[in-house]
A and B are shown apart, each in its own frame.
Chain A
Amino acid sequence: GQQVMQIPQYQHVQEGEDFTTYCNSSTTLSNIQWYKQRPGGHPVFLIQLVKSGEVKKQKRLTFQFGEAKKNSSLHITATQTTDVGTYFCAGRAGTYKYIFGTGTRLKVLA
């Protein structure tokens, strides 16, 4: 079945450093979404990527969808303490099901 892996599992950074999490699917995806979950909270939608090679930016966050539509990345420039949380990708492969990655937990040290 479809699998979505995410690396790294954990990342500790100093405030102001950059951060990147990678998402890899075992199958070609129709689209991919990214979510953020604050500690003790629920996942909150960040963005959706649909086209091969697509790049989208939200302030300090840059999202990319691979050319083969099997991988994606989220890059945060100059992290802030408000970026703390777990970042999940969720991929859909032609069905109604979204399969979530295992998530990357980000800790930002002030």
Chain B
Amino acid sequence: NAGVTQTPKFQVLKTGQSMTLQCAQDMNHEYMSWYRQDPGMGLRLIHYSVGAGITDQGEVPNGYNVSRSTTEDFPLRLLSAAPSQTSVYFCASSQGTGRTEAFFGQGTRLTVV
């Protein structure tokens, strides 16, 4: 069982570079989301999707784009990386739209220099 797979696990970017964090799930879950985790800040919701073709903003969406062309994939794009985006990023998925447990990927540790 693969569950939720995130790639890459580690990434170093220079300020101004763009990149895409990949997230894929094989559980046919409708709901997917992206969080960033910073020390003392908990997990903050960036963007989420309730199904293919549908996305919406979370608490901290600025500087990030998402799309959901398939049920399985939910990539997160950093348009122009900034040092403030140095963080650990987690992708999560769940069945349905709210009353079921979320399964998290292993995380991507991103450093922007």
Contacts and interface: CB of A to CB of B under 8 A. Distances in A.
A98 B42 contact: no
B29 interface: no
User: Of A33, A96, A103, which is in contact with the most chain B CB atoms at under 10 Å from its CB?
Assistant: A96
Interface residues of B, number: 27
User: Of A30, A35, A50, which is in contact with the most chain B CB atoms at under 10 Å from its CB?
Assistant: A35
A24 to B, nearest CB: 13
B85 interface: no
18 contacts: A9-B40, A31-B98, A33-B102, A35-B102, A42-B90, A42-B107, A44-B104, A45-B101, A45-B103, A96-B98, A97-B48, A97-B58, A98-B45, A98-B98, A100-B42, A101-B42, A102-B41, A102-B42
Interface of B: 31, 33, 35, 40-45, 48, 50, 56, 58-59, 90, 92, 97-107
